Chain A
Amino acid sequence: MQEFTRQSILILADNLMILGQRLGEWCGHGPILEQDIALTNIALDLIGEARNYYQYLAETEGKHEDDYPMLRDAREFKNVLLTEQPNGHWGDTIARQFLFDCFHFHLLEHMVASSDQRISAIAKKSVKEAAYHLSFSGDWVIRLGDGTEDSHQKIQRSVNKFWPYWMEMFTPTEAEQHAIQEGILPDLNKVYEAASSKLESVLAEATLIKPEGQHSRKGGKEGFHSEHLGYILAEMQYLQKSYPGASW
């Protein structure tokens, strides 16, 4: 496997892994039992999808699927900064999820046609789940935006808060650029167009304002993270690191 392919796969996998890990923190603490279940469902999907990519890497590199999430350090993780942001309140989690789902669903929709058979197969398997995630988070953005005065303000603030992380998802790294040229990844401009139009229609229905003119924060895809990631990994990798080589 070429290095740029490997890097591109790590971005895909780490996004899902870290966001799934974040959603897992909610389990048992949701505002409504049904929504607790729904959010856990999404966590299960995301980590399951991440596992597909890790397995692909593990098979080509003669490693174990757990080596990737459990044994790498922060600088080697390639997830976008958005996914590692703290859960905050329900509106924060929904806004973060909605921005990610807009990107992820449309990415997969295009990635089904990947020149890499395995990636294409994973995309085909994941795209239905991503469609459900997008409708879940989109519906909640609308419900909160068009709910009470208080919820409207809260979700608007949440969208504003995560807005600086929006563009990183669509801005290719060098490795991704290479992968796009080879047809392994779809054209991220196209993904951006589709994601933006979905985002705009949902925000409009939610009576929310699309934030503008903020500077964009990136770096995660190159391993340059916020301070949050170290804590996520400290928790996630605690057993593997405390008992090196043990099987669980």
Chain B
Amino acid sequence: MTNTLSLEDRFQQRIDNEEKIEAKDWMPDGYRKTLIRQISQHAHSEIVGMLPEGNWITRAPSLKRKLALLAKVQDEAGHGLYLYSAAETLGAGRDELLHQLHTGKAKYSSIFNYPTLTWADIGAVGWLVDGAAIMNQVALCRASYGPYARAMVRICKEESFHQRQGYDILLTMMKGTDAQKKMVQDAVNRWWWPSLMMFGPSDIDSPNSAESMKWKIKRLSNDELRQRFVDMSVPQAEILGVTFPDPELKYNEVTGHYQFGVIDWEEFWRVVNGNGPCNEERLAARVQAHEEGAWVRDAALAYAEKQKQRNSSQVA
């Protein structure tokens, strides 16, 4: 009977059996497209994400923090590389994907369109933004597409390190002067809601989700992940001695979860659609780096070509 199954049915059967799909396997066009979109968005987020934190490298307040921040931002570049490679296995080259980013056709995580205004932001980004990223990414470690899932496993290990580092920055500051404590609370106030928005639109407004769940590209819904993040963060905030800017945030004895206020979806869409505080700067910085690097890439290519010719003429 099984041989009467269509390719598509057989593919779904493999997914349902928790088999990993590999690059050379047959897959529906929609599956490939969805993956390319999601993986490339994710890759772009890693490299755009280097900018808000990278801008504090030269101002990090101690040798220890400077080294940790350099290493962290470098990790994010590495994550970008893993993900571009994963997208490449699906037939989407890095040049093409970068072109989509630079022309505004591809999206990246909106969180990076917010500015890092004080050193406490570096702590808050590590704690909340990397923390929210981990929530998403841990679920993706079991994604049905093998190369993506494996990239996520590597990435998750480093992300949890980033989160601890960020939290440690804030802990240290909370043991410090009043000015430092104020700085921490202010940063948490600014990063809390955008971090919640990182999980994307509410499930009822998330049109692609059902298919992604069926294909096991996604394992948990946006709202489920968001709830997990809130449940994880509230006790951490208490230990830290900061509050979240949400008067409705409280523990619900019945559900066993923290309930929270309504997200400002207008702001969410405004930033997604390009009108956040730093959208233009972020994109401009990426485009500038790319354009100013063109002659360098050309030179490397020309040199590699010359070397190839030299080697082949040696052999001949």
Task: Point out residues on A near B: beta carbons under 8 Å.
Answer: 21, 24-25, 27-37, 40-41, 43-44, 47-48, 50-51, 54, 65-66, 69-70, 89-91, 142-144, 146-148, 150-151, 154, 235-236, 238-240, 243, 246-248
B298 within 8 A of A: yes
Contact B58 A147 (CB under 8 A): no
Residues of B within 8 A of A (CB): 47, 50-51, 54, 57-63, 65-67, 70-71, 73-74, 77-78, 80-81, 84, 119, 169, 172-173, 175-177, 179-180, 285, 288-290, 292-300, 302-303, 306
- Partner of B73 from A40, A89, A147, A248 at Cβ < 8 Å: A40
Provide the bound-state CA to CA distance between A31 and B298, in Å: 11
Complex Cα distance A90/B298, Å? 13
- A-B contact list, 28 entries, CB within 8 Å: A24-B66, A25-B57, A27-B74, A28-B51, A28-B77, A30-B293, A32-B296, A35-B296, A40-B70, A41-B74, A44-B67, A47-B63, A48-B67, A90-B293, A90-B296, A147-B300, A148-B302, A150-B298, A150-B299, A154-B295, A238-B59, A239-B60, A239-B119, A240-B62, A246-B180, A248-B61, A248-B169, A248-B173
Alpha-carbon distance A65/B297, docked complex (angstroms): 39
Known interface pairs A44-B74, A47-B63, A246-B176. Does A89 touch B57 (Cβ–Cβ under 8 Å)?
no
Q: Which residues of B contact A151 (CB under 8 A)?
A: 295-296, 298-299, 302
Give Cα distance in the complex from A151 to B301, angstroms: 11
In the complex formed, the residue of B with least CB distance to A65 is B63
Most buried by A among B58, B61, B71, B84: B61
B54: which A residues are within 8 A, CB to CB?
A: 27-29
Nearest A residue (CB) for B179: A243
Give the shortest distance, in Å, between B291 (CB) and chain A (any CB). Answer: 9
CA–CA, A148 to B74, complex, Å?
29
> What's the nearest-Cβ distance from chain B to residue A24, in Å?
4
Q: Which residues of A contact B67 (CB under 8 A)?
A: 44, 47-48, 51
The 10 closest A-B CB pairs, nearest first, are A31-B293, A147-B299, A151-B299, A28-B54, A28-B50, A248-B61, A239-B61, A31-B296, A40-B74, A24-B57
From B47, B66, B292, A31 is in contact (CB under 8 Å) with B292
Interface contact A47-B58, CB-CB below 8 Å: no
- The reply to whether A27 and B57 form a contact with Cβ atoms under 8 Å apart is yes
B296 touches A150 (CB 8 A): no
Q: Are A24 and B300 in contact (CB under 8 A)?
A: no
Further 7 A-B residue pairs, CB within 8 A, beyond A70-B61, A236-B58, A248-B62:
A24-B70, A27-B73, A28-B50, A29-B288, A30-B289, A150-B299, A151-B298
Whether B296 contacts A146 by the Cβ 8 Å rule is no
Q: Which residues in B have their C-beta under 8 angstroms from that of A146?
A: 303, 306
A128 CA / B300 CA spacing, docked (Å): 25
Residues of A within 8 A of B300 (CB): 32, 143, 147
Chain B residues contacting A238 (CB-CB under 8 Å) are 59
Neighbouring B residues of A24 by C-beta, 8 Å:
57-58, 66, 70
Task: Find chain A residues with CB under 8 A from B65 CB.
Answer: 248
Decide: B77 and A36 in contact? CB cutoff 8 A.
Answer: yes
Closest-CB distance, B137 to chain A (whole angstroms): 19
- List the A side residues contacting B176 at CB < 8 Å: 246-248
Bound together, the chains give a CA A37 to CA B70 distance in angstroms of 10
Task: Tell whether, in the assembled complex, residue B58 and residue A25 are in contact, meaning their CB atoms are under 8 Å apart.
Answer: yes
A47 touches B70 (CB 8 A): yes
A34/B81 in contact, CB under 8 A: yes
Contacts of A44 in B (CB 8 A): 67, 70-71, 74
Kindly list chain A residues whose C-beta atoms are within 8 Å of the C-beta of B289: 28-31
A28 to chain B: closest CB distance in Å?
4
Contact present for B47 and A70 (CB under 8 Å) = no
Q: Are B58 and A29 in contact (CB under 8 A)?
A: no
Residues of A within 8 A of B180 (CB): 243, 246
Count chain A CB atoms within 10 A of each CB in B65, B81, B119, B300 and give the residue with the most.
B300
For B173, the chain A residues whose CB sits under 8 A away are 248
Q: Are A37 and B119 in contact (CB under 8 A)?
A: no
Per the bound structure, the CA–CA distance linking A43 and B306 in Å amounts to 30
A148 to B306, CA, bound (A): 10
Cβ-closest chain B residue relative to A41: B74
The closest CB in chain A to the CB of B119 belongs to A239
Determine the residue in chain A with the shortest Cβ distance to B66: A47
In the complex, which of the residues A51, A69, A236 contacts B59, with contact meaning CB atoms closer than 8 Å? A236
Q: Whole-angstrom distance between the alpha carbons of A28 and B47 in the complex?
A: 7
A147-B303 CB under 8 A given contacts A24-B57, A28-B51 = yes
A240 to B59 Cα, complex, angstroms: 9
> B74: which A residues are within 8 A, CB to CB?
27, 37, 40-41, 44
Beta-carbon nearest neighbor of A27 in chain B: B54
